[in-house]
Structure 1
Amino acid sequence: MKTKRKVEVVVISDVHLGTYGCHAKQLLTYLNSISPKKLILNGDIIDIWQFKKRYFPKSHLRVIKKIMDMAANGVEIIYITGNHDEMLRKFSDTTIGNISIVDKIVLELDGKKAWFFHGDIFDVSIQNAKWLAKLGGYGYDLLIRLNSFVNWCLDKIGKDKYSLSKKIKNSVKGAVKYINDFEKVATDLAIENGYDFVICGHIHQPKMQIVKNKHGKTTYLNSGDWIENFTALEYQFKRWKIYNYNNDKLRAFYADEDIKDMEIKDLIAAITIVEQKKKKKKSD
């Protein structure tokens, strides 16, 4: 049985269970590898907007069951509502066992204030024209399905995978401006309210950055998504990191970042030296 990594706080968002773009198997592998004290589901976990009875694979159900099992085993589950699961907002401030449903939350982490919310509140298209936002959601889902086929073809001919939606986001000026505006509004509000950390989802862009203005500073964090980036946020040893499934699947969260750069032989040598010193002290 593999040892699970202990993590104080884990944040995942934008899983979109019930859609073709969701990578539930990878998320389940990740959840099975960790033992968190708190698991914060920061919106758009179940995609109620695009829910179809004919499409909800077993792997998607297993993710829900895994979260329920974690709650039953003492993990505190905080479900923050997003726009794709906004129907749950009618149950905001409800707590059942270890599971609570909220629209936003402020937690104190080692004496610092962390402000968690999904982020759709900043999205004018969602607030004023939900039908347009939903249409965009369907278009995104179609793009992801097309991208899956393209990547299948690329894999067959030995080429690297390609993200159509990332290319569009990074090349369209309007998309880049929207992301920049989103981050600025979030950080300005966090600084104004004295929050040390502001943690969002929604825009599917994993990021960690210290932001300063004339009124102060804050750390902006975005958990990304499990459609394209396969990312989460982890808080341990009084600091945050972005977990990336593709890069960090076999890596531990180290207290000392320098340890990551050590080779196995160096680690063994270091342990051997410590053991030799212990033996010498005993003989003396």
Structure 2
Amino acid sequence: MKKRKIELAVISDVHLGTYGCHADELIAYLNSIQPKKLILNGDIIDIWQFSKRYFPSSHLKVLKKIIGMASKGTEVLYVTGNQDEMLRKFSDTSMGNLKIVDKLVLNLDGKKAWIFHGDVFDVSIQNAKWLAKLGGYGYDLLILMNSFFNWCLSKMGRERYSLSKRIKNGVKSALKYINDFEKTAADLAIENGYDYVICGHIHQPKKERYENKNGNCVYLNSGDWVENLTALEYSFKRWKIYHYNHDRLSPFFVDEDLKEMDMNDLIASITDVNLEPETEDIIEEHTKLIEVEEKDLDNQGLAQN
């Protein structure tokens, strides 16, 4: 399978070491891309619920794959989260192409992206960590029950169903928490002059522009690999939410944002990079040949409208 070359990929909330983790699907996704940078935006390993009794080989393969990508030239930036917070004692440590950080600011084509996990906004974690951990165990149990439920549905030929999504969408306090989380992150990003703010933590993939009296920014959330199986991808100066269940057979360029671009904008976004002089000469030469061929076709009345 030919790998898709992209500028940046962001994944979060993989929760390796739990029953809900979709490690095989994540490996398939990572095998399909060749990013210049891979951002691991927190909760990759669920240290809170880590158990020697459950850490299957597929979960180890994910770690091996990530290390392998780093060894082959991909810059891997591990942004720590709440459930892998033990890694925060190693913040700013570098090992080859792998670096551990608590937060990150990147320059993307002249725009600033502020990247962090998002647990800093979670009051339950800040004030009562034991309660947050208890909730994590309950969530893991719910996911385990949901897996059995979906296995039964698949045997009956019916579509998968997410119990946790249903509960979140049906509880007003959960919806308010998510909305407050997103607004707080966006407001802080605008206040500090960031064009993008990129989070994880709440398992809700999203891409939305926020505005207030001080300006605007784009809020992005990479979702998770427990329920949604999503990632963020940046290429051609555009952000895309990648959905494994829908996009795994689709190339990046079918993104709706790119469909809406005219050809000149698309060419400009692709070629807006520093090329070697030899490469520029080759492109110019081929462009002239194409123009000559088109003129010949016009003279013969064969050019398409």
- The amino acid of 1:258's aligned partner reads K
Match of residue 158 from structure 1:
157
SS of match in other structure, 2:252: coil
How many angstroms apart in 1 are the aligned matches of 2:56 and 2:107?
Answer: 37
SS of match in other structure, 2:94: strand
Match of residue 262 from structure 1:
none
Match of residue 258 from structure 1:
259
Match of residue 89 from structure 1:
88
- The amino acid of 2:67's aligned partner reads M
How many angstroms apart in 2 are the aligned matches of 1:279 and 1:208?
Answer: 41
Matched positions, count: 270
Match of residue 196 from structure 1:
195
> How far 1:161 moved relative to its partner?
1.0
How many angstroms apart in 2 are the aligned matches of 1:27 and 1:3?
Answer: 17
> How far 1:281 moved relative to its partner?
2.9
Match of residue 268 from structure 1:
none
SS of match in other structure, 1:144: helix
Match of residue 29 from structure 1:
28
- The amino acid of 2:217's aligned partner reads T
> How far 1:283 moved relative to its partner?
11
- What is the TM-score of this pair, normalised by structure 2? 0.85
* Higher gyration radius (CA): 2
Match of residue 267 from structure 2:
none
Query: Which of 168-177 and 247-256 deviates more?
Result: 247-256
CA RMSD of aligned residues (A): 2.0
How many angstroms apart in 2 are the aligned matches of 1:193 and 1:60?
Answer: 37
Consecutive unaligned residues in structure 2, runs of 5 or more: 261-289, 300-305
How many angstroms apart in 1 are the aligned matches of 2:108 and 2:70?
Answer: 21
> How far 1:243 moved relative to its partner?
0.3
> How far 1:157 moved relative to its partner?
1.2
After superposition, residues 70-89 of structure 1 pair within 5 angstroms as 70-89=69-88
- The amino acid of 2:296's aligned partner reads K
**CA deviation map 1:103-158 (0-9, x unaligned):** 00100000000000000000010011100000000000000000001111111111
Match of residue 223 from structure 2:
224
How many angstroms apart in 2 are the aligned matches of 1:69 and 1:281?
Answer: 50
Consecutive unaligned residues in structure 1, runs of 5 or more: 260-274
- Residue 281 (str. 1) matches residue 280 (str. 2): no
**CA deviation map 1:200-231 (0-9, x unaligned):** 00000000000000110000000000000000
The 1:283–1:175 alpha-carbon spacing in structure 2 relative to 1, beyond 3 Å, is closer
Match of residue 273 from structure 2:
none
Query: Which of 155-164 and 116-125 deviates more?
Result: 155-164
> How far 1:3 moved relative to its partner?
1.2
After superposition, residues 47-126 of structure 1 pair within 5 angstroms as 47-126=46-125
**CA deviation map 1:158-211 (0-9, x unaligned):** 111110000001010110010011001100000000000000000000000000
Percent identity, aligned pairs only? Answer: 72
Q: State the 4+ residue runs in structure 1 displaced beyond 6 angstroms.
A: none
Match of residue 240 from structure 1:
239
How many angstroms apart in 1 are the aligned matches of 2:217 and 2:294?
Answer: 48
After superposition, residues 170-189 of structure 1 pair within 5 angstroms as 170-189=169-188
Match of residue 209 from structure 1:
208
> How far 1:279 moved relative to its partner?
7.8
Query: Which of 154-163 and 76-85 deviates more?
Result: 154-163
How many angstroms apart in 2 are the aligned matches of 1:164 and 1:238?
Answer: 36
